[in-house]
Structure 1
Amino acid sequence: MSDLLRQSVDNHLPPPPPPAQPHARPRPDPIPSPNTIPELDEHSSSPSSDSSDLSASSADSATSINTVRPSSHEQAASPNHWTTYFAQELYLDHVDNAKGFKACYHVYLTPPSDPQKDPLFICHHGAGATGLSFAVFAQELHKLLPTAGILSLEARAHGSTIHPTAPQNDDDDEPLDFSLPTLSADALTMINLTATTQNWPTLPPTLLLGHSLGAAILTDLASTAALGAQLLGLINLDIVEGSAVSALAHMQTHLASRPSTFPSIDAAITWHLRTRTLRNPASAAISVPSLLKPSDPSTPSEEKSYTWLTPLPPTAPFWPTWFTSLSSKFLSARAAKLLILAGTDRLDRELMIAQMQGKFQLVVLPEAGHFVQEDEPERVAEVVVGFWRRNDRGALVLPPKVGDLIRMGKKV
């Protein structure tokens, strides 16, 4: 439950809309990004598979790409615009007749320089957040590893839209299915559709990087072995089954305590920083606007107020299923494993024993809040790049076999 989990326990101007394409479904009107980061008072925090799988998944899909970059004659994008952090913004249409829905998936992508050898970090946000939760982290990662690819997914009702194929009484209502298997299937479809649009014969060497609910989704995906031998690593950010499950009892109370609307985007950014939901103004400036939508789209711009893009209370029936068996699935994943936490108190017994047995790498960032990738993007990027380098199979240099040495005339 993203930013909500820890709190309940412890105390874009946008680019012009892309031209219409035969299968493109435009995303709901984006919200203008603030021109400046609001100043805080003295009490505020300072910044501190193989190819057959890919083609099979898209056989019944209509896929469209809308990539928006500022043109050479236009002013450069502001620091809080997605083009500062990612190379492409993709809208991926998909129809699943078997399950009776049509989707317009939304992702941000910077492709790897060489998909055959350079890593692809696939990121998934937590509940209530969006793909831009990884924006500043993506920027920091590219400073350290310029050839890497980054794919940031957006879940249904968090930027991606899902509609039933059959007529409904209210066409605006998305099917209320936020079960973990469904969210995991959405993630796999987004990955495979992205690979198809990029003409990758197979996935690049892949590392999954999930925050909170996003970690549960990607861990579930890893447990299915759907990505095959291309999966090198699984990285979970500030999520542990024990503390997540215990937090659920307080969720409704916490959601009710949040402001239902904000008079402006700047006000929403300020609220996130002053409540220490986010602790990094640079991250807040890019991620917070994407969390909101106009309360009444017909209201003139100067009179607009904003509300949450994703209504979380209706997802309550699915909460207990999100984190069940998270620890065991994480530990059994056939990939190198890394867990980054904001505090050691979050380790449950199963993970504590496994960590002492060396079954996964543990890194604690005590200065960060629950959104570790937003609060400490530089540090998280350093840890993630180091983790990849230690587990990069392409970098392994094995000694020659004895038979090869003999054939070369070497003494053994």
Structure 2
Amino acid sequence: MSDLQRRWAKAKLNAAMPVFNELDEEGTGTGTGDESDSGTTTRSLSYSVTSETSDAVPSFPDDDSSSASSSSVSSTGTVIPSPARALFARPLGIPSARTLDPIPWTTYFERELLLPTPSSPTVSYHTYLTSPVGKGPLFVTHHGAGSSGLSFAVLSSEIRKRLPTAGILSPDCRGHGSTIAPEDPLDLSLDTLSEDLYRVIMLTRDAMKWKELPPVMLVGHSLGGAVVTDLAKKGLLGGALLGYAVLDVVEGSAMDALTSMQTYLSTRPVGFGSLREGIDWHVRSRTLRSSVAARTSVPALLMLEEGDGERPWRWRTDLARTQPFWEGWFVGLSKKFLEAKGGKMLLLAGTDRLDTELTIGQMQGKYALQVFPEAGHFIHEDLPEKTAVALVDFYRRNDRSALVLPPKVSELLAQGKKV
């Protein structure tokens, strides 16, 4: 080291000595901030000397917060919190208990419709609707057995966040929610339910005075997956159908699960003392893993029966009565799913749900597959954000409005152009 370098380094270290002396007098060799009695934070810097010839380098702990500092040329610095401060404590004013108040459907949808059926005067379909904007798509949903159209409420808002032009049509199927249909005899056959869904789409078009159907994406959960697949296979929507997505149902696992369905129903509470009790049971039992989703969808599953003892809130749909239709819902589902026209996507909570036919189809690239192992059976309610991302991406891959097709030869000849 040259004499010049030694003199320069010595001068820099001497300039820093008052700072070290001040820190030593305070009884600390590291510059941590302390909270005074008034609640303010004292900022100080810690220095490290890396070698005999190095400058004293101020080092700042990593933190997102910053404030003005006279020791920085840019006038920005770091507030160093006291170790005693509870950085991850709940902010004051937020209750620690989980809120179980119901969330109204108006939080998520633009309107609700009650659609009478001219051909069937005893049937009126109830549905929730947010209209598409411009040429945006219409996501048409169908819930599972025992659920309602509000099963897709939280998901609908997540879809709109990512695709503001999208519309969502979420009906209650017959025997569920607020849809009015004969209960004696009860008809929940697959043909009837897929015809109902088609009627809801057409009646909504007429009620909203749409000149034509917007591009349609069908989304069905469990039983609803079988319904949207059947409607897609029948081809009733023609060119308006872009694709369909099935949530957590495949033929093989569904048929296996039917054997234990009665056992599950026997373990469910027959009723609840209040709506909050019903919401709480769904969350505690892990039937739904999101309290927001439970607060939104569970109220539509229950109805108040006056004078019914300590548990007046009873299930709106008697799932035990639907048993004669269970097998018919799912037989042949895998084959129809692979053969129907349009884009196809399957969202599952685990790969163990794939049967042989779908496994082969997936390996052949016949449909898109997404697996969310952290979700339960109600994927769209447990993980609405991830489900929305998957559905919006699925729509964009199948959106034909972005395609620019070359002109037809006949059109070029009519214009007198050479081909």
Return the TM-score normalized by structure 1: 0.74
- Give the match for residue 366 of structure 2: 359
- Give the match for residue 225 of structure 2: 215
- Give the match for residue 64 of structure 2: none
Tell me: CA distance 1:90–1:406, structure 2 relative to 1, closer, same or farther (3 Å).
Answer: closer
Q: Is contact 2:190–2:328 with CA below 8 Å preserved after alignment?
A: yes
Q: Is contact 1:38–1:270 with CA below 8 Å preserved after alignment?
A: no
- Give the match for residue 288 of structure 1: 298
- Give the match for residue 3 of structure 1: none
- Give the match for residue 243 of structure 2: 233
Structure 1 position 174, deviation (Å)? 4.0
- Give the match for residue 186 of structure 1: 196
- Give the match for residue 112 of structure 1: 132
The CA distance in 2 between the partners of 1:108 and 1:174, in whole Å, is 26
Tell me: CA distance 1:292–1:79, structure 2 relative to 1, closer, same or farther (3 Å).
Answer: closer
- Give the match for residue 337 of structure 2: 330
The CA distance in 1 between the partners of 2:325 and 2:295, in whole Å, is 30
Q: 1:66-123, CA deviations, whole angstroms, 9 ceiling, x for partnerless residues?
A: xxxxxxxxxxxx98111110001001111435xxx61121000001112xx2100000
Structure 1 position 401, deviation (Å)? 6.8
Note the 1:221-260 alignment, pairs <5 A: 221-260=231-270
1:136 lines up with 2:146 in the alignment = no
Paired residue secondary structure (1:107): strand
- Give the match for residue 74 of structure 1: none
Q: Is contact 2:272–2:311 with CA below 8 Å preserved after alignment?
A: no
Q: 1:161-210, CA deviations, whole angstroms, 9 ceiling, x for partnerless residues?
A: 4455xxxxxxxx44311111111111111111111101122211001000
The CA distance in 1 between the partners of 2:414 and 2:113, in whole Å, is 52
- Opposite residue 106 of structure 1, the aligned amino acid is H
Query: Among 356, 361, 366, which residue is 1:349 paired with?
Result: 356
Structure 1 position 305, deviation (Å)? 2.5
Q: 1:261-319, CA deviations, whole angstroms, 9 ceiling, x for partnerless residues?
A: 1111111111111111100111111001111011x23679xx77211010010111111
- Give the match for residue 7 of structure 1: none
Q: Is contact 1:37–1:281 with CA below 8 Å preserved after alignment?
A: no
Structure 1 position 407, deviation (Å)? 11
Tell me: CA distance 1:319–1:292, structure 2 relative to 1, closer, same or farther (3 Å).
Answer: same
Q: For structure 2, list consecutive stretches of 5 or more residues without a partner in the other structure.
A: 1-93
Query: Among 102, 105, 109, which residue is 2:122 paired with?
Result: 102
Paired residue secondary structure (2:401): helix
What RMSD over aligned residues (CA atoms) do the two structures have, in Å?
2.7
Tell me: CA distance 1:357–1:269, structure 2 relative to 1, closer, same or farther (3 Å).
Answer: same
Query: Among 110, 113, 130, which residue is 1:87 paired with?
Result: 110
Number of corresponding residues: 325
- Give the match for residue 26 of structure 1: none
Tell me: CA distance 1:37–1:184, structure 2 relative to 1, closer, same or farther (3 Å).
Answer: farther
- Opposite residue 177 of structure 2, the aligned amino acid is G
The CA distance in 1 between the partners of 2:301 and 2:354, in whole Å, is 29
Q: Is contact 2:306–2:312 with CA below 8 Å preserved after alignment?
A: no
Tell me: CA distance 1:401–1:162, structure 2 relative to 1, closer, same or farther (3 Å).
Answer: closer
Q: 1:330-386, CA deviations, whole angstroms, 9 ceiling, x for partnerless residues?
A: 111110000011111100000000000000000011111110000000000001101
Return the TM-score normalized by structure 2: 0.72
Paired residue secondary structure (2:390): helix
Further displaced range: 205-214 or 177-186: 177-186
Bigger-Rg structure (1/2): 2
Tell me: CA distance 1:190–1:401, structure 2 relative to 1, closer, same or farther (3 Å).
Answer: closer
Q: Which has the higher contact order (CA 8 A, sep 6+)?
A: 1
Query: Among 165, 170, 173, which residue is 1:152 paired with?
Result: 170
Paired residue secondary structure (1:190): helix
Structure 1 position 398, deviation (Å)? 3.5
Tell me: CA distance 1:137–1:402, structure 2 relative to 1, closer, same or farther (3 Å).
Answer: same
Q: 1:124-157, CA deviations, whole angstroms, 9 ceiling, x for partnerless residues?
A: 1000000000000000000011111100011111
- Opposite residue 358 of structure 1, the aligned amino acid is G
Structure 1 position 408, deviation (Å)? 10
- Give the match for residue 145 of structure 2: 127
- Opposite residue 156 of structure 2, the aligned amino acid is A
Q: For structure 1, list consecutive stretches of 5 or more residues without a partner in the other structure.
A: 1-35, 42-77, 165-172
- Give the match for residue 58 of structure 2: none
Paired residue secondary structure (1:293): strand
Paired residue secondary structure (2:381): helix
Query: Among 187, 195, 215, which residue is 1:205 paired with?
Result: 215
Note the 1:21-36 alignment, pairs <5 A: none
- Opposite residue 123 of structure 1, the aligned amino acid is T
The CA distance in 2 between the partners of 1:159 and 1:174, in whole Å, is 17
The CA distance in 2 between the partners of 1:298 and 1:106, in whole Å, is 27
Percentage of pairs with the same residue: 54
- Give the match for residue 176 of structure 1: 186
Query: Among 297, 304, 322, which residue is 2:306 paired with?
Result: 297
- Opposite residue 330 of structure 1, the aligned amino acid is F
